[in-house]
Amino acid sequence: MTDALTKMLSERDWVMADGATGTNLFNMGLSSGDAPELWNADEPQNIKKLYSLAVDAGSDLFLTNTFGGNASRLKLHNAESRVRELNRLGAALGREVADASGRTVIVAGSVGPTGEIMAPMGSLTHELAVEMFHEQAEGLKEGGADVLWLETISAPEEYKAAAEAFALAGMPWCGTMSFDTAGRTMMGVTSASMVDMVEALPNPPIAFGANCGVGASDLMRTVLGFIASGTERPVIAKGNAGIPKYVDGHIHYDGTPELMGAYACLARDAGARIIGGCCGTMPEHLKAMRAALESTPKGPRPTLEDIAVKLGGFSSASDGTGDQSDAPARSRRNSRRRT
C-alpha cells in the first residue's frame, strides 16, 4: 500500500506545504507561555481554523498542532500524561479539515525536538528519546495522520531516535533540520552531512530537508547543498518569511508575499519537491506562493547570486560545508563554497 504523500509526489512536480503555526495561533489569542497543544482539547475550533487557513490558501499538506507534543515539552505545562490524547486530537482535527476540503490534502503529524540535549553531550538517552517520540507517533497515528513530520531538529542523535520511533509506530515520515548557525544546525550538521545521515538510516524518510533557520536566502543555500549531493530523495524547503527582526519587543518577519512567491519558485527551480514556509508565513504568503508556482514556468537551477538578488543576502559567508573543522563558530572564517 502506497502512502498518500508518496502517491502525491509520484503524480506532481511539487507539493505545497503550509506556513507558520505559532504566528497564526498568537494572532488567535494564544499567550506566548502557553502550550499550543492544549488547544487541541480546549479550543478545537481555533485549531480547525488554523488548518483551514492553510488549506484555503492552497496548501496540499499541512502540519498538525503537535510540535511540542512530547512528554519532555508537555511536562513544562504539567501535561506529560496527555501526550497520546493531545496528539490524537491534533491529528483528528486535521483529518476532519483535510477530508472536508474536496481534494487530496495530506495531514502531516508534526513532531518537534524534545528540548533536551541527548547523550553523550547531554542527559537524554537514546532509549528514552525513542520512547518519547514513539508515544507521540502512536497518538498521531491514532488521530489519522497520513505521515509523521519531524522538524526543527539540530542534533543527528535526535533525528535518528525519532526515525527509530516512527519505525516502531509503522508510519511513513519526513524530517527536516534547522540550519540556523552559519549554514549548519546548532549541533554542527551541514547540508552534506544530513544527506549522508538520512541515506544511512534503516527506515529513511519519504522526503527530507530544511525548515526555519535564519532567512529564506540561507535556507535556499542549504537546499542547493542537498541537491548538489545528487540525492534522489525528495527535498523539503520550508523557509521563514524573510529574516527575523526584533521590533517593539517581539520577533517580526519582514518577508512580503511577493518575496515568498519568488522564494517558492526558486525552491522549485533548485529541485525542492515539497515547498512551504515556516515562521512568519501567513495565509497571504501561502496564496502568493501557490499563485507564483502555478503561473511561473520552471526555470534553471538558481545560483547563489540569483538567490541573493531575489531574496536578499546571506547571514554568513559560507554554507558551513567545505574543508572546515567541526566547530560551527569557525565557519565564518572560511568563505570557500561547496560546488
Options 198-206, 278-286, 291-299, 301-309: segment touching Zn ion (CB under 5 A): 278-286
**At 302, is the secondary structure helix, strand, or coil?**
coil
- Name which of 9 and 212 has its Cβ closer to Zn ion: 212
Which pairing describes strands 244-247 and 250-253: parallel, antiparallel, or unpaired?
A: antiparallel
H or E element in which residue 274 lies: strand 274-277
Q: Is 278 in the site for Zn ion (CB under 5 A)?
A: yes
Residue 161 or 279: the one with the smaller Cβ distance to Zn ion is 279
β-strand partners of 245:
252
The stretches of the chain forming alpha helices (DSSP H) are: 4-11, 22-27, 39-42, 44-56, 71-74, 83-99, 126-143, 156-169, 191-199, 216-228, 257-270, 283-295, 304-311
278 labelled as ligand-binding? Answer: yes
What does the per-residue mask of binding to Zn ion show for 191-230, with x meaning CB under 5 A? ---------------------x------------------
In this structure, is the dihedral angle defined by the CA atoms of residues 311, 64, 288 and 207, taken in order, positive or negative? positive
Instruction: Work out how close the CB of 330 gets to Zn ion at its nearest, in angstroms, rounded to a whole number.
Output: 26
* Nearest distance from C-beta of residue 221 to Zn ion, angstroms: 17
Please, which residue, 115 or 170, has the CB nearer to Zn ion?
A: 115
Give the separation between CA 334 and CA 175, rounded to whole angstroms. Answer: 29
Peptide bond preceding 257 in cis form (omega within 30 of 0): no
Binding segment toward Zn ion, per CB under 5 A, in 77-85, 159-167, 277-285, 308-316 = 277-285
Give the nearer residue to Zn ion in terms of CB position, either 19 or 328.
Answer: 19
Q: Which is nearer to Zn ion, 67 or 338 (CB)?
A: 67
Look up residue 201 and give its three cell numbers. Answer: 538510516
Per CB under 5 A, the list member of 279, 289, 292, 311 interacting with Zn ion is: 279
Q: Per CB under 5 A, which region of 31-39, 73-81, 243-251, 279-287 contacts Zn ion?
A: 279-287
Residue type, 206: I
- Does 279 carry a binding-site annotation? yes
Binding-site residue set for Zn(2+): 212, 278-279
- Site residues for Zn ion per CB under 5 A: 212, 278-279
